[in-house]
Structure 1
């Protein structure tokens, strides 16, 4: 596995260390965030539709939906 060598030729060389260097065959590499320039249109529309609700406490319907989503995610539903 790669390591950040404190004895690198210069601090700049040490700063160029990147997590991709430590990836072994078969490992999942989450070192780089890859994203598009903007969120998908469906997400923008969904968030925009809820902007008027930002200053409000969650409704009981929103609370139930959040609890159910977390329970389902953790197989507790």
Structure 2
């Protein structure tokens, strides 16, 4: 409520009203998180492994990683 001869109203509110607002916000955020979990979105794609150039047997490690990736893609096609 704006008081006479003042430029703006007070920002004061009762504790019960403030706590009620906090509770509503908390419940809403919880509901949104729960829905997001059900959808299963926002997963980060796995990055390729990085191997330093001076590592011994770098080509072998990269070849094995590529074979593993191909195996996984074949399994995804066979068993969706």
TM-score, scaled relative to structure 1: 0.24
> Which of the pair is proportionally richer in helix?
2
Larger radius of gyration: 2
TM-score, scaled relative to structure 2: 0.23
